[in-house]
A = this chain, B = another copy of it.
């Protein structure tokens, strides 16, 4: 049995797990299931193409009739229509207000994270991360930025707040950056609070409140990849979908008595529910951070970080194409994830644990204690042409040796069910 899907264009880190063709394609050969690949599938990218095609035609017709200002540098916070329509869209999605004045357009969440890391911090600074965390964020912190990464334990409710408080006290003076008007933060807390990568867990509301208090106390900036929130299918009793959790930025309330100018950035992206190739995202960020970024040369020299694509997306949201698209995608993933989890429940070895996700891209599977996931990966790669992400790559300390992350984002349901069935059989055989 082998994968029937033709090609996937992968990121470099994922190509290394698989069998790649020459760079001109950057794709996979037919016959490989890349369950490590955290990108949208053809069912989503085709819809996104249709959305962008309709929106581009409308927006560029309007621009041609006016002065083509979308081609100019643009406001450093982004195309006005993008910001206005994005605030409306998020307000509707979250069922809670999002203010356009908090929004600054980015070129995707990675660009957003990298920009904050490099504009506000220096080599030798401290970043507190969840253990486990997004595997490539670790490369950005460790290799690109040369930060000291401090892993903080997690449980089903997210990061352990007592441990965080203790570690922040311990590392208080170990960073390089000292607080000043230009750099109001002495350290960074990196979180994926909603449908986390890799676990798909959501941080409990009381921890969301607590982590903001701790950031204020320890003069730290929380940067959240709030990239999966709108990609959710939390069911309501009537069968419709409930509002997804808001970005963590909503917890840093200006009305709080201990509000200190803003300690949270929700770093959003169109990558997960539209397509990563768009390189389009946004910050919800406090006013002082807008000011710091706009006074820097990076943003001032280039203008809006992704003016053209942002403008087209502004029109797509105005036409309500994005909302319709998301509603289709939600149903699609709810159905696919349900089918995959049924296979996992029936066929994984006894003692295996996992949550059925209500959003995001991933299922985090914990095999029984002592199971060697690295060995399972080798068997799956060699004998079954299946790739997945071993849990230890998501841990700064190499924990979670018995865990793995599979992505349900790319393949159609039938392929997922086939691949996961083979994976379950391989795991069962190995653990016999």
Chain A residues engaging chain B, CB cutoff 8 angstroms: 6-13, 23-26, 39-40, 42, 44-50, 52-53, 56-57, 60-61, 63-64, 67-77, 80, 107-108, 110-111, 114, 118-119, 122-123, 136-144, 146, 274-280, 294-309, 311
Instruction: Taking A40-B71, A71-B274, A72-B275 as given, write out 18 further A-B residue pairs in contact, using a Cβ cutoff of 8 Å, ordered by the A residue number.
Output: A7-B67, A10-B73, A11-B73, A11-B301, A26-B80, A42-B67, A46-B67, A46-B68, A49-B70, A72-B277, A136-B301, A277-B311, A279-B303, A279-B304, A279-B307, A279-B308, A280-B308, A306-B306
- Chain B residue with Cβ nearest A25: B80
CA A248 to CA B25, docked complex, whole Å: 29
Contact B139 A296 (CB under 8 A): yes
- Could you say how many copies of this chain the assembly holds? 2
A184: shortest Cβ distance to chain B, in Å? Answer: 16
CA A9 to CA B79, docked complex, whole Å: 10
Which residues from B are CB-within-8-Å of A307? 276-279
CA A314 to CA B276, docked complex, whole Å: 18
Known A80-B26, A301-B11, A307-B279; contact A72-B45, beta-carbon cutoff 8 A: yes
Which residues from B are CB-within-8-Å of A146? 122
Contact A8 B144 (CB under 8 A): no
Contact B80 A24 (CB under 8 A): yes
CA A9 to CA B77, docked complex, whole Å: 12
CA A142 to CA B75, docked complex, whole Å: 23
A55: shortest Cβ distance to chain B, in Å? Answer: 10
Which residues from B are CB-within-8-Å of A275? 68, 70-72, 308
Contact A60 B69 (CB under 8 A): no
Partner of A298, one of B144, B304, B308: B144
Which residues from B are CB-within-8-Å of A303? 11, 276-277, 279
Contact A144 B68 (CB under 8 A): no
Contact A300 B73 (CB under 8 A): no
Contact A67 B45 (CB under 8 A): yes
Which residues from B are CB-within-8-Å of A311? 277
CA A74 to CA B76, docked complex, whole Å: 26
Which residues from B are CB-within-8-Å of A56? 52-53, 56-57, 60
Known A7-B67, A53-B64; contact A107-B110, beta-carbon cutoff 8 A: no
A330: shortest Cβ distance to chain B, in Å? Answer: 18
CA A50 to CA B64, docked complex, whole Å: 7
CA A370 to CA B48, docked complex, whole Å: 60
Contact B73 A276 (CB under 8 A): yes
Which residues from B are CB-within-8-Å of A42? 67-68
CA A73 to CA B11, docked complex, whole Å: 6
Which residues from B are CB-within-8-Å of A294? 12
Known A53-B57, A119-B144, A144-B119; contact A301-B71, beta-carbon cutoff 8 A: no
- Chain B residue with Cβ nearest A114: B298
CA A126 to CA B304, docked complex, whole Å: 28
Known A64-B53, A111-B302, A279-B305; contact A144-B296, beta-carbon cutoff 8 A: yes
